[in-house]
Structure 1
Amino acid sequence: MSKATTSFDYIIVGAGSAGCLLAKRLSEDPTVSVLLIEAGGRDSYPWIHIPVGYLYCIDNPRTDWRFRTQPAAGLNGRTLLYPRGRTLGGCSSINGMIYMRGQARDYDHWAALTGDDAWRWESCLEDFRRHEDHYRLDDGGSEQQRRFHGHGGEWRVEQQRYRWQVLDDFAAAAREAGIPATDDFNRGCNEGVDYFEVNQRAGWRWNTSKAFLRKALARPNLTLWHDSLVERLDFAATKGAEEPRCTGVSVHRQGQQVTAQASREVILSAGAIGSPHLLQLSGIGPRELLEQHGIAVIKEAPGVGENLQDHLQLRAVYRLEGARTLNTMVHRWWGKAAIALHYLFKRSGPMSMAPSQLGIFTRSSHDQQHPNLEFHVQPLSLEAFGQPLHEFPAVTASVCNLNPTSRGTVRLVSADPREAPAIAPNYLATAEDRQVAADSLRVVRRIVEQAPLAQYRPEEIKPGAFLQSDEELQQAAGDIGTTIFHPVGTTAMGRADDPMAVVDSRLRVLGVSGLRVVDAGVMPTIVSGNTNSPTLMIAEKAAAWIRESVSSCGHD
């Protein structure tokens, strides 16, 4: 097979959420050259852009890596489909489009763990605002809204374009259960109930490819390679330096093995699964694991692929009477036709829906100091993702533990870069997580018992009202729990004296020069909410630091 070599100043691996933002920011300097490499194809598949199209993108090889988890004891031996975006825009092209930052305490905790005040909430807020284009400020907004939101940036945030009476009633029931109303989940404390805001523009999905990349690709100093698999990072010893330097990447592209060299930095933005896998394939990771697969150790880093955290959602399903839900609409041909026409002419209706419409943040018990549960409430139900909707009216209240204490792993299983790593989220591995799971299902029941929902005569289908004890509900959580697609933590940032830290607080890989990781994997602890927009905030910080490092000294 022929080989070729080419050179750039920066190489970004992964054109997902972080990679698209980084490509735009770094290429704003016309004196540098930037290469962005994506294993998947262009985001030209129509279902990427229609909000309901996530149904056709997840588990589709055109847009998804189609990973599966290892059998999990906490899930009673089950494995899960583990979607990760494989197309321009990455997970922002297949996710739920929910705009959520988490809680201020998440970022203050990162600052304490790393010793770097750049991660404090007030600093992170500026980075969120920098790329935000929030609908609340379209007409100027209030002083408070301008304090917490930005306008004119690339990342559009809008209200959902369709409401359901049954969800309005569910929200009223939550308020009657003692959960306050809120009009903004993104001011640092997200406790309350309201409809989610979404990353859409005029009824279309707004992914990071459209937001950050499309116009930037007109720049002569930005090169995109799609359908190109980075197989390994390349390293060289640097004269007089103790650390090896990452000099570029080896790529399989258009039937060739290509070496792309980076004179300044290689930046991994392949996600919390892809980045640790690529580091391990390249000789950075736990020594025993690398030697087991015949991979030469470039840098022993026991934290690579460890510390995996994810939000496990428990899908409580209630059968209703007399409710208008998506279930009954799609089981009639005229219902489907009406849905299609509604979207065609108004960019509204069920086809404009995010997977979850109503959000609730609350506490699993009175002894919780902060909201530790997130609900994604949907006017529909089905046995499992990818299966048909039930033929009866129903609502699904998915609830997840925002701050799980269970930790999992991502580990290569072979030196072949085409072989998927072993993903073991290790859900419900701790007694604390199992107790929160049982308590959270009781919170669902408390809401459903309130008067605003009585008109629908709700009947608990899953997990089943006959399950009452902690032990029964914990067993049920293992039966019905599934990922909500928020893996983080596998290349965690930390202090230099933390043996499990992979990157420093400025996201540089410890013990290696010329290499950073910029994606959700660097989160030392998972945020208290959805992870896509926090990943953009991380990339915004990283872009500024990378440019500052060049202006100050030429190299890190």
Structure 2
Amino acid sequence: MSAAHMGRAAALILATLLASSCVSVSVTVASKEARRYNFRFVRHARDAPAVSYYNYIVVGGGTAGCPLAATLSEHSRVLLLERGGLPYGNRNVSSEYHFADALADTSPLSPAQRFVSEDGVVNARARVLGGGSCLNAGFYTRASAGYVRAAGWDARLVNASYRWVERALVFRPGVPRWQRALHAGLLEAGVTPDNGYTLEHLPGTKIGGTIFDRRGRRHTAADFLRRAHPRRLTVFLHATVSRVLFRPGGKKKPVAYGVVFTDSVGGEHHVYLRGGGGGGKNEVILAAGTLGSPQLLMLSGVGPRVQLERHGIRTVHDHPGVGQGVADNPMNSVFVPSPVPVALSLVQVVGVTRFGSFIEGVSGSQFGIPLHGRAAASHAVARNFGMFSPMVRSRQLGTVPPRERTPEAMRRAAEVMRRLDPRAFRGGFILEKILGPLSTGHIELRSTDARANPAVTFNYFRDPRDVERCARGIQAMERVVRSPAFARFTYANHSAMDAAFRRGAAHFPVNLLPRHPGDTRPLQQYCRETVMTIWHYHGGCHVGGVVDQDYRVMGVRGLRVVDSSTFKYSPGTNPQATVMMLGRYMGLRILRERWIRKGAEDKH
């Protein structure tokens, strides 16, 4: 097998991984599927009344929106609007063995909606109740104590909120041999101390939690809705919110008083806050994610005036910070071919380095697909990558720089895959992402269609400090692979590995790409030209820039944003735990504010 063939194979294998009114919200017409999972308050948006009223309208039933809505329903009438469907009954969501299939699905009803950043990297955003927790690799770890302090959060309430999340859906993983070897290899490579199994974010090497149970079944943020008050919560699925409604505030700020959403057959529905909003109690809360929340703010007239006017949107509040400071943690990886079969495992072990790089691993590249001969290998390529799939075309073709990942390049790489010996698929990936990152970009509207993806630019590796962190991370990965602890899963003479990474036997692993003339920094080049996403994008509605410390949108009233778009940096090694925690945390904070205000009003 040639070096070029193995290099392209390595990049492509990674493709597989990686109500009527507020008094009738007790839902009498839940769908059969919703009733099957005891979600009697969940309905299809086409069954929604034309006009309805609630105390809280939560836009986005994702990783933050589900725990937020469940918490608010403890004492208030809540409507949760989700543009996707239920995650239950879909094996691509529920089964660990079909993790890659959800991301490869390009159908209109897919739980993952693909988007390609302006940098040329294909990514995905969730379109399903439960959000990104339905699509990710399941790793669960808290943010560091320093992150919590910097965010200005109440540490005791944060810990209580994490525990609430963990009781519902976090498990201790069974760690197979490949992951155990990675754990030991990280320690031998100097990523110390050994922190064992812990949910805390600590320097060194650890085993984290997972949202997959021992049967390989995924548990998602949608499960939090089982804790909701069933007569106070209504959930509408396939409901796409097109704008937040504002009324003039006179000499005061504009007031959010409702939203407009469209169902799957084009019917338009209006939902209003009880009492008209703006009184400090009833609110619209955006939890639509890093892309969705800034996009919806701009579609509603809250954003940079120049951009709004370009699309004919009336400016409610000129807010230049909306859509700015968006970042995506870049992922770079190396494929390690194994001389022995490797069991499937998603992320279970992480090395938290002291220089700002996080190292993780996934193994069993075939993801439960039996490969028996070249025909089966070809079938696996077609099934998981799609012969002309945009995912392969621009996200996973790590053998060419992002902007050169054309359909033709994808077709050539897929042809190479057909000719590979099935043993080329045997092994695992060691991945790294960098802390932060420091490089940031922006989101802009492409159109006024709320269903369309906005234009997203992440500016990967624009800051040279990000490149340096990545290069040091690659060096640490090299030490892991060459460690005695990892020897079982590497070829003794390194010949297959050296062929895979196109560098001499004395240096492994390295650049999959042809050398550039005069290049003196191959690892930095490798980082820039093999960059992919690890789906940890964030920003666009920063605390202090777009929202205040209580997550209220500055410049208007009756509107908050509670999701990953408020983060300046991605928390911990993997953000889902903190996004879930934030939903619970802010739900409790909002309810507390409500009853303190009510008590003060009663005294008067």
| TM-score, normalised via structure 2 length | 0.74
1:415 maps to what in 2?
A: 448
Matched residue pairs, number? Answer: 475
- 1:262-341 equivalence runs, <5 A: 262-263=273-274, 264-321=282-339, 323-326=340-343
Kept after mapping to 1: 8 A contact 2:331/2:534: yes
2:225 maps to what in 1?
A: 213
1:404 maps to what in 2?
A: 437
Kept after mapping to 2: 8 A contact 1:317/1:461: no
1:97 maps to what in 2?
A: 138
C-alpha distance in 1 between matches for 2:176 and 2:214: 19
Kept after mapping to 1: 8 A contact 2:63/2:130: yes
- CA deviation after TM superposition for structure 1 residue 4, in Å: 2.5
Percent of aligned pairs sharing the same letter: 27
1:251 maps to what in 2?
A: 261
SS at match of 1:131: helix
1:478 maps to what in 2?
A: 528
1:465 maps to what in 2?
A: 503
1:19 maps to what in 2?
A: 65
C-alpha distance in 1 between matches for 2:63 and 2:196: 26
1:451 maps to what in 2?
A: 484
- CA deviation after TM superposition for structure 1 residue 66, in Å: 2.3
2:363 maps to what in 1?
A: 379
SS at match of 2:523: helix
C-alpha distance in 2 between matches for 1:311 and 1:385: 28
C-alpha distance in 1 between matches for 2:255 and 2:523: 51
1:345 maps to what in 2?
A: none
2:572 corresponds to 1:528: yes
Amino acid at match of 2:255: R
- The 1:11/1:460 distance shift into structure 2, 3 A limit, reads farther
SS at match of 1:66: strand
C-alpha distance in 2 between matches for 1:59 and 1:167: 25
2:193 corresponds to 1:178: no
Structure 2 runs not aligned, ≥5 long: 1-45, 275-281, 367-380, 386-416, 505-509, 512-518
- The 1:306/1:470 distance shift into structure 2, 3 A limit, reads farther
1:442 maps to what in 2?
A: 475
- The 1:125/1:214 distance shift into structure 2, 3 A limit, reads closer
- The 1:380/1:462 distance shift into structure 2, 3 A limit, reads farther
- The 1:524/1:122 distance shift into structure 2, 3 A limit, reads farther
Kept after mapping to 2: 8 A contact 1:63/1:94: no
1:257-283 Cα shifts (integer Å, max 9, x gaps): 111111310010101111111001111
C-alpha distance in 1 between matches for 2:319 and 2:150: 23
Provide the alpha-carbon RMSD of the alignment.
2.7
C-alpha distance in 2 between matches for 1:104 and 1:5: 45
C-alpha distance in 2 between matches for 1:99 and 1:461: 35
2:148 maps to what in 1?
A: 107
- CA deviation after TM superposition for structure 1 residue 243, in Å: 0.4
1:214-272 Cα shifts (integer Å, max 9, x gaps): 353x7222111101110111000135x51000011011124311111113100101011
Amino acid at match of 1:214: R
2:120 corresponds to 1:70: no
Structure 1 runs not aligned, ≥5 long: 73-78, 112-118, 134-153, 327-349, 495-500
SS at match of 1:533: helix
- CA deviation after TM superposition for structure 1 residue 535, in Å: 0.7
Amino acid at match of 2:283: E
1:167 maps to what in 2?
A: 179
Amino acid at match of 2:147: D
1:125 pairs with 159, 163, 172, which one?
159
- The 1:166/1:50 distance shift into structure 2, 3 A limit, reads closer
- CA deviation after TM superposition for structure 1 residue 475, in Å: 1.7
1:9 pairs with 48, 55, 71, which one?
55
C-alpha distance in 1 between matches for 2:218 and 2:199: 20
2:49 corresponds to 1:49: no
C-alpha distance in 2 between matches for 1:195 and 1:465: 32
2:34 maps to what in 1?
A: none
- The 1:461/1:27 distance shift into structure 2, 3 A limit, reads farther
- The 1:461/1:553 distance shift into structure 2, 3 A limit, reads farther
- CA deviation after TM superposition for structure 1 residue 453, in Å: 2.8
Kept after mapping to 2: 8 A contact 1:267/1:518: yes
- CA deviation after TM superposition for structure 1 residue 519, in Å: 0.6
C-alpha distance in 1 between matches for 2:551 and 2:569: 15
1:323-357 Cα shifts (integer Å, max 9, x gaps): 2215xxxxxxxxxxxxxxxxxxxxxxx4xx4x323
C-alpha distance in 1 between matches for 2:238 and 2:162: 30
SS at match of 1:528: coil
2:457 corresponds to 1:424: yes
- The 1:232/1:395 distance shift into structure 2, 3 A limit, reads same
- CA deviation after TM superposition for structure 1 residue 169, in Å: 2.4
C-alpha distance in 1 between matches for 2:198 and 2:225: 28
- The 1:476/1:299 distance shift into structure 2, 3 A limit, reads same
C-alpha distance in 1 between matches for 2:151 and 2:536: 18
Between 194-203 and 247-256, the greater mean CA deviation after superposition: 194-203
SS at match of 2:139: coil
